[in-house]
């Protein structure tokens, strides 16, 4: 009897853990720099039914028809992590990387692990944001996180937007990195470390070839 009760409790725990993990797995937010997105110019908010074409016209070969809801993503060989740069269901954010924007078409990266691209029809031009606009909106609202694997030099807070400028402080264990303004590849930030000493200056938020080292800490 005791063993049966024990097994029942374990089964319930496993099921609940599985459901919870499944929900968590659908949230997508960058944690590491992605070299396959360096050619991207911004982000586009997509709906839950997207047709991806090989070329920018509707007579072109269809590469994928992507559909998703809160429970599943089709086709399975892509999935939430490969397709989205940011996916947060509770905030209604479903953003993909954009490589080009011509007339009523955007070229998107539909597989972030390989950098493969295709074209989708624009249904609303206001759904496109350049990277600078995205950081100005979400970075200023939520602050920034430094991505895992970013160069150690990204922790250096500089006096100006030059690699050789004076290092005035260092990011150690930041409680929050507030963004003030983006200037080229540099971000003016105010950092509160665990020592509770405010530090203000410039950090490199991306490399010269477009690899992003910091990302908005969207919650």
Q: Residues 80-115: pLDDT tens digits?
A: 999 999 999 889 999 999 999 999 999 999 999 999
More confident residue, 194 or 126: 126
DSSP state of 25: H
Give percent of the chain with pLDDT exceeding 70: 89
More confident residue, 4 or 110: 110
| Sequence-separated (6 or more) residues with CB below 8 Å from residue 88 | 27, 28, 29, 218
Confidence of residue 182 (pLDDT cuts 50, 70, 90): very high
Pairing mode of beta strands 62-68, 49-53:
antiparallel
Chain-centre distance for alpha carbon 78:
16
Q: Which of 25, 36, 35, 40 is nearest to 149 (CA)?
A: 35
More confident residue, 197 or 14: 197
Q: Region 117-121: what's the mean pLDDT? A: 98
Angle at 145 between CA 141 and CA 23, to 5 degrees: 85
Confidence of residue 57 (pLDDT cuts 50, 70, 90): very high
Q: How far apart are CA 181 and CA 132, in angstroms?
A: 10
**What pTM did the predictor assign?**
0.84
Query: Which pLDDT score, from 0 to 100, does residue 2 have?
Result: 47
**Cβ count within 10 A of residue 98:** 24
What's the farthest any 2 CA atoms get from each other in the chain?
A: 72
Query: Which pLDDT score, from 0 to 100, does residue 9 have?
Result: 45
Confidence of residue 5 (pLDDT cuts 50, 70, 90): very low
Query: Which pLDDT score, from 0 to 100, does residue 196 have?
Result: 81
Say yes or no to pLDDT of 200 above 50.
Answer: yes
- Both structure tokens of 154: 């990204």
CATH fold of 35-123: SH3 type barrels. (2.30.30)
Query: Which pLDDT score, from 0 to 100, does residue 10 have?
Result: 44
26: left (phi over 0), alpha (psi -120 to 50) or beta: alpha
Confidence of residue 193 (pLDDT cuts 50, 70, 90): confident
6: left (phi over 0), alpha (psi -120 to 50) or beta: alpha
Q: Which of 92, 104, 99 is nearest to 68 (CA)?
A: 92
Question: Among the residues of the chain, which ranges form H helices?
Answer: 2-26, 79-83, 131-134, 140-142
Query: Which pLDDT score, from 0 to 100, does residue 18 have?
Result: 44
More confident residue, 81 or 24: 81
Say yes or no to pLDDT of 6 above 80.
Answer: no
Domains of the chain, by residue range, sit at 35-123, 132-216
Say yes or no to pLDDT of 7 above 80.
Answer: no
Angle at 119 between CA 113 and CA 121, to 5 degrees: 135
């Amino acid at each position: 009897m005791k063993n049966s009760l024990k097994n029942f409790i374990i089964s319930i725990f496993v099921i609940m853990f599985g459901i919870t993990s499944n929900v968590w797995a659908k949230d997508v937010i960058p944690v590491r720099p992605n070299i396959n997105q360096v050619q991207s110019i911004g982000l586009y908010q997509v709906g839950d039914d997207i047709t991806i074409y090989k070329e920018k016209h509707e007579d072109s070969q269809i590469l994928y028809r992507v559909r998703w809801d809160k429970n599943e993503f089709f086709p399975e060989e892509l999935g939430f992590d490969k397709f989205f740069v940011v996916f947060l269901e509770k905030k209604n954010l479903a953003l993909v990387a954009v490589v080009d924007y011509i007339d009523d078409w955007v070229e998107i990266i539909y597989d972030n692990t390989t950098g493969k691209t295709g074209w989708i029809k624009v249904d609303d031009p206001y759904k496109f944001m350049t990277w600078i606009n995205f950081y100005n909106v979400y970075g200023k609202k939520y602050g920034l996180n430094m991505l895992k694997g970013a160069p150690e030099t990204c922790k250096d807070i500089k006096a100006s937007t030059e690699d050789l400028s004076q290092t005035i402080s260092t990011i150690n264990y930041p409680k929050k990195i507030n963004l003030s303004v983006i200037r080229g590849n540099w971000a003016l930030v105010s950092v509160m470390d665990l020592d509770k000493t405010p530090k203000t200056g410039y950090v490199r938020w991306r490399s010269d070839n477009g690899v992003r080292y910091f990302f908005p800490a969207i919650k």
